[in-house]
Structure 1
């Protein structure tokens, strides 16, 4: 039984969780950041939403989806094309 892929996936997931935690920290600690992010999302300014998320120091790939009710972030490891690791966070603001 080869456990190498499972072990690699778990290690990648730990990195994604750290980066997701950085985003959650920023969102839970700064109402200014929250307001900027919500405004950009609600005005469909995807470039600004991406800039704000990456300004936190995120290095993982992040697919960003939003609608009038909230935000969904899907973090993926660089080797995600092999399906190694993905982490999705869904947040509501309305």
Structure 2
């Protein structure tokens, strides 16, 4: 499994509190939504890719069976080969466990990771 640094969780000092009320003395920069808007746009594209993958799994019993069998055998090359038959723009990072499979679709905005779409689906009812 790949772990990445997420800039969304940067180390920030905790706000000071006074009698249960938080007092935040930080001066925040003015909101410039350009990056947020661009990230949202890229995420919409990732959602289209995720929808293609899920739609194909949902509509093809043969693909679903082959994908599940390969994943349960920890045969990652076959899993990737099966996913490459689906015409997505971004190929997901795949992981699986005995309960199901997880797809991570990610995108960059320039050189920076801007968005990640994580889809987990089950195949066991434990």
Match of 1:53 in 2: 83
Match of 1:20 in 2: 50
Match of 1:10 in 2: 40
User: Offset at 1:4?
Assistant: 1.1
User: Offset at 1:64?
Assistant: 0.4
Q: Which runs of 5+ in 2 are unaligned?
A: 1-30
Higher relative contact order (CA 8 A, sep 6+): 1
| Pairing 1:40–2:70 present | yes
Question: What CA RMSD, in Å, does the superposition of the two structures yield over aligned residues?
Answer: 1.5
Name the CA distance, whole Å, in 1 between partners of 2:84 and 2:109. 19
User: Offset at 1:72?
Assistant: 0.4
Count of aligned residue pairs for this structure pair? 94
| Pairing 1:65–2:112 present | no
Deviations 1:8-34 (A, max 9, x none): 100100000000000110111010000
Closer/same/farther in 2, CA of residues 25 and 57 from structure 1, 3 Å limit: same
| TM-score after normalising by structure 2 | 0.69
Q: Which runs of 5+ in 1 are unaligned?
A: none
Closer/same/farther in 2, CA of residues 17 and 68 from structure 1, 3 Å limit: same
The structure with the largest helix share of the pair is 1
Name the CA distance, whole Å, in 2 between partners of 1:85 and 1:77. 6
